Structures are given as C-alpha cells and as structure tokens.
Amino acid sequence: MNNNVALLKIDPAQLDALLLTHGHYDHFGGMVGFLQANQGKLKAKLPIYLGGEECFCTREIGVRQFGSLDRQAMRDANLNIVFAEHPAVVAGHAFTTGWIPQTTFEKPLNPSNMTVGIHNGVGCAADKLPAAKQNATTIPDDFQHEQGTAYMVKDRGLVVLTSCAHRGVLNTVKTAMKVSGVHCSGEVFYSMVTHAMPGKVLWSSTGTRFTFGA
C-alpha cells in the first residue's frame, strides 16, 4: 500500500477520510504498515468508516486463517472509528451505502467463516453484533457489514464503487440509487452512447483510477 501511495504521488497528510468496504485481509492488510509509516503525518482524528463491529471479527477461509482488523493500530494512530451501518456522508463529498439489503437474485457466496468474540485482544465484541449473531461461535460470513462507496459528480450523475460486492453488484448499486435518489443508466445506455461516441466511453475495471474535478 505504501508503495502504491508513493507511485500515485498521494500525500497522506491531505487525506480527509479512510474507508474499509469489508473485513477481508486483502482489503486491510496494508493498513498497519501505512499507519506506522505515516505516524504523526495524518490529520488528527482522521475518520475511518467501517460497516460495523463485524469488520473486526477474525475470519478463516477453509483451514487458513484470513486475518483480523487491528483495532489497536487504529487507536494508536489516533483514527476516529465511524460505524456506517446506515448511509453516511464521507468527507463532505462522498457517501456510503450503509448495509446493503438483499433485494435481487444475488446472494453472498460465503467464501469465508467469521469467528465471533475477542481473544487475546483481537476480534469482535459479540454484544455489539446484530442480535442473531451474538451467541454464535464460527458462522458463514454473510458480509452484512459490507458497504459500497458512491459519489454524486456534478453534471455527470451517480458513480458507484462496489469493491468486491460480496453482497452483490446489483444490490450495491440499487442501494446507492435508493440512498441518493439518482438512477443509473445501465448497459443499454452504455451501448447506445458507445455507438454515438466511439473511443470516448470508458468501461472501467479493477485498477481503473478516477480523478474527479469540481
């Protein structure tokens, strides 16, 4: 993560917020090193948006331990942990979807298991989880805590970042549409506008970088 930040010439001191989409190690694995490398450089009480206490649960994929989010590292870095179980405005110009309901045919595939409880200072507090999970030990991960990130771009409309979309791409987009009140154009419009403006329409994918102007 530190290498990518340097390559992109991003100044961590200018960050207004951090956001974690869900509690999988491949999404937060670089966080501790990033916080350590930028100790004293980040804004005081820099908010980090999480989808709930579930983000801190220990996770396993098969017999392989898949990490747990380091709560103490956040405290040591003086971050302000914000639980965005409901939609929340981020840094004054973005917003999270909050929890994403299952309203379409898409269902989580449960690639990981989630262990409830705090052990040796690591893990999630059972009493802060949804009631149905408080008495569980290890359960299939339904990603109830996952959140999408969206922007309302002036004169362009709604931009939705789905991340892994364990809760489903359609479910994520539909939630962002409901929160914002703005409807997306979809693939039919994309096909039409690509025909009308060949070479000028971007189909984004993993690794695409967006720079939004005023």
Coil, strand or helix at 202:
coil
- The type of residue at 67 is G
In this prediction, residue 17 carries a pLDDT of 97
CB atoms under 10 Å from CB of 106, counted, come to: 17
* pLDDT (average), residues 7-15: 95
Residue 113 lies in a domain: yes
Task: Inform me whether the pLDDT recorded for 207 exceeds 70.
Answer: yes
Q: What is the CA radius of gyration of the chain?
A: 18
Residue 111 lies in a domain: yes
Specify the higher pLDDT residue, 121 or 214: 121
Total domains present in the chain = 1
CATH of the domain at 29: 3.60.15.10
* pLDDT (average), residues 14-26: 95
- Summary mean pLDDT of the chain: 91
pLDDT band at 44 (very low <50, low <70, confident <90, very high): very high
In this prediction, residue 214 carries a pLDDT of 63
Q: Note down the domain range covering 182.
A: 2-196
Helices (H) and strands (E) in the chain, counts: 6, 13
Q: Are residues 161 and 98 in contact, defined by beta-carbon separation less than 8 angstroms?
A: no
* pLDDT (average), residues 20-28: 94
Q: Is the pTM of the predicted complex or chain greater than 0.95?
A: no
Q: How far apart are CA 209 and CA 110, in angstroms?
A: 29
Residue 205 lies in a domain: no
Q: In the chain, what percentage of residues exceed pLDDT 70?
A: 96
Residue 124 lies in a domain: yes
- The type of residue at 200 is K
pLDDT band at 185 (very low <50, low <70, confident <90, very high): low
Return the H-helix or E-strand segment holding 80.
strand 80-83
Q: How far apart are CA 156 and CA 25, in angstroms?
A: 34
In this prediction, residue 186 carries a pLDDT of 66
Specify the higher pLDDT residue, 205 or 115: 115
Residue 201 lies in a domain: no
pLDDT band at 58 (very low <50, low <70, confident <90, very high): very high
Question: Cα separations (Å) of 90 from 6, 47, 106, 200?
Answer: 23, 9, 27, 30
